[in-house]
Amino acid sequence: MSESRATGERPAVDETVVRVEHLTKVFGRRAREAADRLASGASRDDVAKLGTAAVIDASFEVRRGEIFVVMGLSGSGKSTLIRMLNGLLDATSGTVEIEGERVTGVDPKRLRAVRRSQVSMVFQHFALLPHRTVLENVAYGLEIQGVERARRLELARDVVRRVGLEGWEQRLPSELSGGMQQRVGIARALCADTPVLLMDEAFSALDPLIRREMQEQLVELQAELGKTIVFITHDLNEAMFLGDRIAVMRDGRIVQIGTPEEILTDPANDYVAQFVQDVDRTRVLTAASVMEPPAAAVPVTVGPRGALRTMRDMQISGLLVTGTGRKVLGAVKDRDVLRAIQRGVADLGSLVDTSVPTVAPDTSLSDLPEIAITSGMPIAVVGEDGRLLGVIPRVLLLAALGNVSTDTSEFAVVDMPPAIDPLLVTQTLDATEVPDAR
């Protein structure tokens, strides 16, 4: 996984590369009339006699370096939308701009120039030239641009290596597996060196394992090359994995645009909610999205008695202990602390189990269960500086994995019930009390 993803950072996102405003496409002889009616509030069904409204009033912006996913069921208008982005289809109304240049309503010559310099497309069925070698296929875009042969083959060789096809340069597409053919498709698009890549169901024809591999590679390539990518898919898990933001389409309209997490945790309507109910949450949600405020943590300075009192009051059996700057030192268990108090130990730091699991806030939920099960302790979510940001109690984690609402504050209490009798705790605290304690 790329560094930027691994650290949860988003690419620089302040620059609009693709700007789509009120874009509508109606297929049919009376398309214009249908578009006007749609603009004044008519529904898709209302205009059905005039034509098929494939895309209705779509507006969005894609920022530099972003992977913007358009997702929706078959027939929702995704392909029509993406084909208007590079002028393969004319818009009935509305505008598309790429890098500030109009794609809609321009003459064919101008359109070709924009296409050549700004957008490349990767198709589902690879669309490779069957009688040309891998290298020649990859270099094809440059050939059209008039780049001289030696130079274009040199550039193509570099891209072939980047997509992991070194050694296959002289083969024909028919000698390659589906996954490899699609790598050629991607290499060809990358080789054209346009800032924008359009990918239409680019991985849908691939086996699941290869598909996953390609998704991961795309994210890596994107981080490395900083391309702006519009990716179309009907696969929700793919959308969630790839998308910095996702636009959900239904019946030609964009019904929600948001980050995967926003779409998942705050769906705009019942349609989106239903759509996302089967998504594999563990791949989307992160430690930060399910952690709780670190209530079950005490500074080491409270001493063993302070820690035991807190555990008794919160009815839990373990606590995280922090040092200076709220750095996590480790965890203590009620039983150990009780015994230590009985032995007269005064330093909480000496009781701390430093093997407590800590994770970064952007750790994927799918990586957490193993940690939770093997440690038996709540997981500490810590920032880069080691500072405690939150706690993931084990039951909360199970709830999140089970698609149950993660708003489960009451679960935190039952997560690690006291291992010892509260009465014994109180008696021990009373018996060892010294006037200046606490």
Ligand X SMILES: Nc1ncnc2c1ncn2[C@@H]1O[C@H](COP(=O)(O)OP(=O)(O)OP(=O)(O)O)[C@@H](O)[C@H]1O
Q: How far is the CB of 197 from ligand X (least distance, A)?
A: 18
Identify the three-state secondary structure at position 10: coil
Work out whether 12 is an interface residue with ligand X (CB under 6 A). Answer: no
Q: What is the DSSP letter of 281?
A: G
Q: How far is the CB of 316 from ligand X (least distance, A)?
A: 50
The HSE-up count of residue 153 (CA atoms within 13 Å, CB side) is: 8
Of the listed pieces 71-79, 285-293, 340-348, 404-412, which binds ligand X according to CB under 6 A? Answer: 71-79
CB 134 within 8 A of CB 184: yes
Work out whether 250 is an interface residue with ligand X (CB under 6 A). Answer: no
Q: How far is the CB of 70 from ligand X (least distance, A)?
A: 8
Applying CB under 6 A, among 44, 234, 326, 339 the residue interacting with ligand X is 234
Of the listed pieces 75-83, 165-173, 267-275, 301-309, which binds ligand X according to CB under 6 A? Answer: 75-83
Distances (CA, A) of 264 to 239, 256, 269, 289: 11, 11, 11, 11
Q: Report the C-alpha gap between 196 and 182 in whole angstroms.
A: 18
Hey, what amino acid is at 430? D
Of the listed pieces 73-81, 133-141, 147-155, 393-401, which binds ligand X according to CB under 6 A? Answer: 73-81
Q: In sequence order, what are the beta bridge partners of 245?
A: 68
Applying CB under 6 A, among 2, 52, 95, 117 the residue interacting with ligand X is 52
Q: Which is nearer to ligand X, 54 or 248 (CB)?
A: 54
Q: Which is nearer to ligand X, 19 or 44 (CB)?
A: 44
Please count the other Cβ atoms lying within 10 Å of the Cβ belonging to residue 168.
17
Longest dimension (CA), the chain: 92
Q: Which is nearer to ligand X, 52 or 117 (CB)?
A: 52
Hey, what amino acid is at 175? E
Q: How far is the CB of 75 from ligand X (least distance, A)?
A: 4
Q: Which is nearer to ligand X, 79 or 118 (CB)?
A: 79
Of the listed pieces 67-75, 237-245, 278-286, 308-316, which binds ligand X according to CB under 6 A? Answer: 67-75
Identify the three-state secondary structure at position 93: strand
Of the listed pieces 74-82, 128-136, 218-226, 279-287, which binds ligand X according to CB under 6 A? Answer: 74-82
Q: Report the C-alpha gap between 353 and 307 in whole angstroms.
A: 14
Q: Which is nearer to ligand X, 74 or 405 (CB)?
A: 74
Work out whether 27 is an interface residue with ligand X (CB under 6 A). Answer: yes
Q: Which is nearer to ligand X, 237 or 358 (CB)?
A: 237
Q: How far is the CB of 103 from ligand X (least distance, A)?
A: 17
Q: Which is nearer to ligand X, 76 or 322 (CB)?
A: 76
Q: Which is nearer to ligand X, 12 or 48 (CB)?
A: 48
Hunting for tokens 């009373």 — which residue is that? 430
Of the listed pieces 6-14, 16-24, 76-84, 91-99, which binds ligand X according to CB under 6 A? Answer: 76-84
Q: How far is the CB of 78 from ligand X (least distance, A)?
A: 4
Work out whether 233 is an interface residue with ligand X (CB under 6 A). Answer: no
- Tokens for 220, please give them: 């890596």
242 exposure class (CB count in 10 Å sphere: 0-12, 13-18, 19+): buried
Query: 422-431 and 334-342 helices cross at what angle (nearest 10)?
Result: 30
DSSP string across 237-278: HHHHHH-SEEEEEETTEEEEEE-HHHHHHS-SSHHHHHHHTT
Of the listed pieces 1-9, 68-76, 370-378, 419-427, which binds ligand X according to CB under 6 A? Answer: 68-76
Work out whether 75 is an interface residue with ligand X (CB under 6 A). Answer: yes
Applying CB under 6 A, among 14, 49, 74, 417 the residue interacting with ligand X is 74
Work out whether 48 is an interface residue with ligand X (CB under 6 A). Answer: no
Backbone angles phi, psi at 358, to 5 degrees: -125, 145
Distances (CA, A) of 305 to 301, 302, 326, 375: 10, 7, 20, 24
Q: Which of 388, 390, 393, 434 is nearest to 413 (CA)?
A: 393
Q: Which is nearer to ligand X, 248 or 395 (CB)?
A: 248
Of the listed pieces 4-12, 72-80, 101-109, 376-384, which binds ligand X according to CB under 6 A? Answer: 72-80
Q: What is the DSSP letter of 51?
A: -
Residues that bind ligand X (CB under 6 A): 27, 52, 54, 72, 74-80, 234
